[in-house]
Chains A and B, each alone.
Chain A
């Protein structure tokens, strides 16, 4: 009983905190918040990124949406492990090919096969530059190839960079929004580079629409 209630309680507390600090608002611009299997691929600048997406999802979708995160970060320390594993039910990926035992793509595909939707940060790491996005890692391409029926939704998280830049501990309370854009069209026989460029362009366009 407690084992189930505690993560739920912690998740709601984290969500509430995110709302108090950022008054975050979900903007469903290109898709509706309906229960359909999706990969939300988003820009990554802060550890709070997936928390914000998770917060604006309706509870029924939230329960079936799992963030994909680096195990090197989320398995270091008891609290982070609890939050990563129990609260957010993250698909934890070992980003280091040397120590890696599971193939990240099959880990994610397995989660999709279980019926989950995913939150994916294709930049692979947090963006601390002045560029809109870092170059995308190929994971999104391979996953889209492996599970072509899953909808790919570009998701722009606005302003969280200023709320909590990498390495800072105290958040600045500023307003944030999460905008869901038009799903990426499927193009047959597209090569990796072209697909990644298109996915990246979709997110950049969305960012420009949000920030004007």
Chain B
């Protein structure tokens, strides 16, 4: 597939930002000395961003296949982190095997096949009725509801919600044919930029904590500054979407709000389970879910809003 012209512009912009960030990181390193932990973490984060951007860009160049495969792998990595922390017993073995090796691949196959009627009910209806049965026939009732519910929520977050990112490619928007991959780019750029901007605003002027017990680093100043500036950037990216600047701003606002609350919900789960990060595989960022939490909460909402108001069946 040939990438739309807008894609090249966007990637150019993102690369420019990363080049600047890398430069700033190196300057800080030479000023503060090589042993500064904050700078070390910043540089690790920026390097990981390079990896993520290159991976995402390659997937998008691969068109639908690339994006579906990338998100199937991300779902796998996320589900692995999530189910590592959930309650489980020997009797859950088959339910877990089915989750990883049947439900996840089938969900992504349905996305690939553009079968909207099925991929939107497969997990919340079929998987959610099948899994409790698989667990129940093993007869172990200790913590039954907790075990089943936690496994199902892992599927909901890491597979169902995440799969709505590649599902954007199946939308049929008049006058926007062949450009759907830009919807994925719009969603991911706005959400991730919002995370970064909330962090930056919070570091610069953050005073009043929103939920100190959940996440000590989230402040009202960071929240408002991040949400508003990311929405403004979203509006400025209207040229790559089927939306007007005003509509792009509104959708970006919804995306960033959902992203913020997604992060908050996932922090609550981490607190409950007594861990700081979901995993350890992305240097400076923790696990895959630590990076994806805001995307998975905003993706289904962005998908449905776009589908109802812009797409024809």
Contact = CB atoms under 8 A, between A and B. Distances in A.
Contacts of B41: none
B96 A172 contact: yes
A13 interface: no
A85 interface: no
A128 B93 CA distance: 14
Interface string A168-203: 101011110000000000000000000000000000
B88 A23 contact: no
A52 to B, nearest CB: 14
Interface stretch (B78-86, B210-218, B245-253): B78-86
A23 B80 contact: yes
B80 A165 contact: no
A212 B93 CA distance: 23
Given A23-B80, A159-B84, A162-B88, A172 B93 contact: yes
B interface SS class = helix
A170 B93 CA distance: 9
Contacts of A172: 83, 93, 96-97, 100
A165 B81 contact: no
A23 B281 CA distance: 8
Contact of A175 (B76, B81, B96, B100): B81
B89 to A, nearest CB: 9
A95 interface: no
B279 interface: yes
Interface residues of B, number: 16
Chain A contact residues: helix, strand, loop or mixed: loop
Given A23-B281, A165-B90, A212-B274, A170 B101 contact: yes
B93 A25 contact: no
Nearest to B281: A23
A55 to B, nearest CB: 15
Interface string A93-132: 0000000000000000000000000000000000010000
A74 B280 CA distance: 34
Contact of B279 (A23, A159, A168, A170): A23
A70 B8 CA distance: 60
A25 B280 contact: yes
Interface string B183-209: 000000000000000000000000000
22 contacts: A23-B80, A23-B279, A23-B281, A25-B280, A159-B84, A162-B96, A165-B90, A168-B93, A170-B97, A170-B101, A172-B83, A172-B93, A172-B100, A173-B80, A173-B100, A174-B80, A174-B83, A174-B84, A174-B96, A175-B84, A175-B279, A212-B274
Q: Which 5 A-B pairs have the closest CB atoms?
A: A172-B96, A175-B84, A174-B84, A165-B90, A212-B274
Interface of A: 23, 25, 128, 159, 162, 165, 168, 170, 172-175, 212
Given A25-B280, A172-B83, A172-B97, 11 more contacts: A159-B84, A162-B96, A165-B90, A165-B93, A172-B93, A172-B96, A172-B100, A174-B84, A174-B96, A175-B279, A212-B274
